[in-house]
Amino acid sequence: IDDEDALNEVEVNGNWTPQEKALHEARLKAKAKRRLRKSSSRNSASESFSESGDVPGGDPHSPKGKVNTNDRKSRAGKGRGLPKKGGAGGKGVWGAAGMVYEDEEPDARDPNYDESSQGDTVYATVVPEVDEKELEKMVNPIVQEYFEHGDTKEVEMLLKELNLGPHKYEFSSLAVSLSLEGKASHRELTSRLLSDLSGKLMSQSDMARAFDKMLKELPDLILDTPEAPQMLGQFIARAIADHVLPMSFLDCYKGKVDCEHARVALDRAAVLLTMKREMVRLDNVWGVGGGLRPVKHLVKEMNLLLKEYLVSGDVSEAERCLRDLEVPHFHHELVYEAVVMVLESTGDTASHMMIKLLQSFWKTGLITVDQMNRGFQRVYDELPEISLDVPHAHSIMETFVDLCYQESIITKQLRDACPSRGRKRFVSEGDGGMIKN
């Protein structure tokens, strides 16, 4: 018996007033109730432990005698010992089966709300920057294919897919150096490409940097292309005329060039830019355009070629001019124009000179069988119209065709296909003296 109980017994034996005695009994009842509550809570806790299969007491090191801090079962001794919320709540759980979550709008009052991160997410493909050593390997096939198809938009699309970075100006210099080793039509295509890329992928400063690099590399370019200084000068003049290079490009080099080859290139560009005659146009600086030129222009060039040949008689020069035109599919026009010139000329000089020219083209293979046949056949088809201006066209044609066959320029089949107009004659008197065709 503790001290409080002993004191109570002593006081009970004494003389208590009724109020004190009633107060004392109320205290005793309250104390008994508290003891009963404590004992009942212990019993229920032990029962819940035994139901869950855990040993009462659990881990002695756990705080306040907790058995498992991660256990999601109720520790209040209520319920059937199942997980709270049926497993649909708590941290790191997906929720109850079949539950559909709706999109939640970001709350501006959320402490983790970031205004700059809101909006549609954009995924971009990151293209690594092209290494300077690999640039030439990647650009070379693009330029070579362009020389075949001539589509500047395709080149622009391919370059956009590459991340050239600070070395993008080198594309222009590589394209120009490749065209120097190619044909005149390749240089024309390159000038057009530089014009189309200017302002879209390349700025004037990029182009100026590229041509500056080309001027410094001229001593090496001459080893493969002896005429590189003159060609580069024409490139510069054409680029300035097309507004690819700034007008002040040449002024930056005055009195500052030590290389002899670079000086030749810059002088060539300056001369072309200062010429004011209508005959010299910088859009025709390369002299040829291949199949890109209109038919009227090609016909005019071939006519000029033949007229110059009739004056000079230089077969090799005529052959060079025809090769420079680079239109082997249009050589039948030259044959046609040559034959028509023979029909319209007076005397035999033009006939013999044209036979000599066609014979040279035939032997060198510059004009093929198909092109030769097409040229003569065109003249055969138009002989009725030509004879209106040239009355003796049929007889001249027959003589010329026979000479061409003797020189083995045309085949026997083509010679026999030559149309002949029967001569008008008087028949016997029995026909009444009528003229018969």
Digit-coded pLDDT (tens) for 132-175: 677 888 888 999 999 888 888 898 888 888 877 778 888 899 99
Reading the block at residue 153, the tokens are: 């938009």
Task: Dump pLDDT digits (tens) for 224-258.
Answer: 888 899 999 999 998 988 888 988 898 888 878 88
> Which pLDDT value is given to residue 426?
46
Confidence label for 48 from pLDDT (cuts 50, 70 and 90): low
Q: Which of 333, 411, 345 is nearest to 379 (CA)?
A: 333
Residue 334 has pLDDT above 90, yes or no: yes
- Dist. CA 179–CA 188, nearest whole Å: 9
> Which pLDDT value is given to residue 100?
74
> Which pLDDT value is given to residue 357?
93
**Portion of the chain with pLDDT greater than 90, in percent:** 23
For domain 132-284, give its CATH number from 3.10.20.600, 1.10.150.240, 1.10.287.3510, 1.25.40.180. 1.25.40.180
Domain layout of the chain by residue ranges: 132-284, 295-417
Residue 110 has pLDDT above 70, yes or no: yes
> Which pLDDT value is given to residue 208?
92
User: What's the whole-number mean pLDDT along residues 401-409?
Assistant: 90
Confidence label for 277 from pLDDT (cuts 50, 70 and 90): very low
- Dist. CA 225–CA 219, nearest whole Å: 10
Domains 132-284 and 295-417 fall in the same CATH topology: yes
Residue 86 has pLDDT above 80, yes or no: no
> Which pLDDT value is given to residue 377?
92
Q: How much is the pTM?
A: 0.45
Reading the block at residue 240, the tokens are: 């300035």
Topology annotation, domain 295-417: 1.25.40
- Dist. CA 396–CA 354, nearest whole Å: 14
Q: Which of 325, 270, 323, 315 is nearest to 295 (CA)?
A: 325
The CB density around residue 293, as the number of other CB atoms within 10 Å, is: 19
> Which pLDDT value is given to residue 422?
47
Residue 280 has pLDDT above 80, yes or no: no
